[in-house]
Structure 1
Amino acid sequence: MEYTCLGRSGLRISRLCLGTMNFGVHTEEAEAHRILDAALDLGINFVDTADLYGWPDQPGLTETIIGNWFAQGGGRRERTVLATKVFSDMGDWPNEGGLCALHIRRAVDASLRRLRTDHIDLYQMHHVDRHTPWDEIWQAMEVLVAQGKITYVGSSNFAGWHLAEAQEAARARHFLGLVSEQSLYNLLERTVELEVVPAARHYGIGLLPWSPLHSGLLGGVLREERQGIRRATARAAAALATRHAQIKEYEDFAAELGHEPGHVALAWLLANPAVTAPVVGPRTLGHLHSAVSALDVRLDQQALTRLDEIFPGHRPAPEAYAW
């Protein structure tokens, strides 16, 4: 396994992050525990979850599953860099969502109980809160750091100017601020290249791409459909209807390279110096082992150029849309 620092922090994490959104929804608890154990055995030390996961029926279920895994002992918690998130509505009453100080205080305690631990290594804001001032948010996070309940703060689904606003507010308070941003980023969805990626690089914020295979579209979906292995998810099927020729060209190119399509998609992200660790969300042990195999794939400049031809990206703003 390869390791790198998370953003400008000294925290060392694996180049793949184990996402857990499927745990409890598509993956039973026993299988989830096997995946978590296998991830540690493979050297993956970075596990990402969220208080909302388990929705729509059981928000918090995924954190509970991970907490039950930690409770088995054997150094599981000590070997894990644990990341979770706060923002989503966890109830119908006022202040049960968002990033007001009251909700942050209550949400972190609830996550700690479900996760059966005394601290969270990376506490991520799951979305920007347009109603709460940054002084309130950072004051709440500073208190949690001082209490030892969290160690680092990250964001997810922020725009580039949100990253700048957050970091400048933190700088004014002499606070470390954000060390990571978790964004939708893959060969098919490259919007973050306009402003999020440049902002993250400028501020030393580690980029954690979620949905690196775009709901399976980049994982060989056409080949699997031909073989009768599976059908695309509803989200992927909608995109496939308009990008079928592009996906076919991509799968044909992966075959020319002699690699699995999903491995090429992950290797493309890993080749980007702005990317710290893609977040992979396996439903099975097989999916996990397949993702780890992508670490052995190296794409040369010719291959990277060809992928840009198939999936055109964005130059940074404003050059992307001005002279």
Structure 2
Amino acid sequence: MEYTKLGSTGLDVSRICLGCMSYGTPDRGSHPWTLEEDAARPLIRAAVEAGVTFFDTANVYSDGTSEEIVGRALGEYAPREEIVLATKVHGRMRPGPNGGGLSRKAVLTEIDASLRRLGTDYVDLYIVHRWDPHTPVEETMEALHDVVRSGKARYIGASSMYAWQFSKAQYTAERHGWTKFVSMQNHYNLLHREEEREMLPLCADQGVGVTPWSPLARGRLTRDWDAGSARQDTDEFGGTLYLEEDRVIVEAVASIAARRGLSRAQIALAWLLGKPGVTAPVVGVGKEAHLRDAVAALDVRLTEEELKELESPYRPHAVVGFS
């Protein structure tokens, strides 16, 4: 395992972050393909044993049961001080007013609920899952600052939004002397590179760590284009992210993997890990082989010719994944 600083902070994180959306009760929430606790625990343990110290979940994943599973497993398999634990706020957790979003009431309610489910008194990184257009940014940033000042979070981060929104939030925090975001968890992979236009240069300039979600494009980069999966067949959100024209990139990944004698996942992750500014991809692991591929990708170096083969077929996409 390799370790690096999260942006310009002093916080060390593993270069592979275990994404824990794959773990949860299938009939809770909107992810029927998730793994129950008995199946999830060995994978979390294997990640700890492989040197992964960075774990990412969210309150909304499987209606809070992802946090419960992750909290119990990490409490057993690793000392709390060695783990960098991230969770998120924004998604709707209950019907009716104030059941979601980034109001002061929602933020302060949801951090306490997440801590109860995780079985810890603080998270290392508290992430706003999306932008909330219905709440003044001053209200959100002050509430997040209070979460940090109370000791319930060590740092705060953000996820998919426009660069102007992220800049506005950072400017608001700096203007008032509040805590600023130290990380951006964005949608970035070989099939969706629109973040290279504004968000990635902004993060590089401001010393913000980048932890891309869906680094393997919901698994599309790991199998033939026409091959399905239980997740792909039931993932309504994922079905909006990629286009038929992306097939040629998937084929390029397969071709390079075959020539190198490596898995397609290793090639796709090696490309992402090699991008300047990328701290740690958030990798979902449903089998131990997925974890082995992610760790092995740290040692893969792509040639200039291979990079051209992977990148040249890309065509501009509409920005997706912000909602």
**TM-score if structure 1 supplies the norm length?**
0.88
Task: Give yes or no for contact 2:142–2:178 (8 Å, CA) kept in 1.
Answer: no
Match of 1:320 in 2: none
Report 1:184-263 matches (<5 A): 184-222=187-225, 225=227, 233-234=232-233, 239=242, 241-263=244-266
Letter in 1 for 2:285: P
SS of structure 2 residue aligned to 1:210 = coil
Structure 2 runs not aligned, ≥5 long: 27-33, 318-323
- Asked which structure has the greater CA Rg, the reply is 1
Compare 181-190 and 193-202 and name the one that shifted more: 193-202
Is 1:44 aligned to 2:52, yes or no? yes
Measure the CA separation in 2 of the matches of 1:299 and 1:100.
Answer: 44
Measure the CA separation in 1 of the matches of 2:135 and 2:244.
Answer: 40
SS of structure 2 residue aligned to 1:60 = helix
Measure the CA separation in 1 of the matches of 2:55 and 2:75.
Answer: 16
Measure the CA separation in 2 of the matches of 1:167 and 1:82.
Answer: 22
SS of structure 2 residue aligned to 1:274 = coil
Measure the CA separation in 2 of the matches of 1:244 and 1:70.
Answer: 38
Q: CA deviation at 1:62?
A: 0.3
CA offsets, 1:48-97, max 9 Å, x none?
0000001xxxx00100111222443x544232100000001111121111
Q: CA deviation at 1:243?
A: 3.6
**TM-score if structure 2 supplies the norm length?**
0.88
Aligned with residue 60 of structure 1, among 53, 59, 64: 64
SS of structure 2 residue aligned to 1:84 = strand
Task: Give yes or no for contact 1:240–1:247 (8 Å, CA) kept in 2.
Answer: no
CA offsets, 1:97-143, max 9 Å, x none?
10000110100000000000000100000000112122211211121
| C-alpha RMSD over aligned residues | 2.2
Match of 1:15 in 2: 15
Q: CA 1:232–1:149 in 2, change beyond 3 Å: closer, same or farther?
A: closer
Structure 1 runs not aligned, ≥5 long: 315-323
Task: Give yes or no for contact 2:122–2:152 (8 Å, CA) kept in 1.
Answer: yes
Q: CA deviation at 1:13?
A: 0.3
Measure the CA separation in 2 of the matches of 1:253 and 1:70.
Answer: 36
CA offsets, 1:245-266, max 9 Å, x none?
4422331233223322111110
Measure the CA separation in 2 of the matches of 1:243 and 1:102.
Answer: 42
Letter in 1 for 2:200: V
Task: Give yes or no for contact 1:20–1:281 (8 Å, CA) kept in 2.
Answer: yes
> What is the identity percentage for the equivalent residue pairs of Structure 1 and Structure 2?
41
Task: Give yes or no for contact 1:95–1:103 (8 Å, CA) kept in 2.
Answer: yes
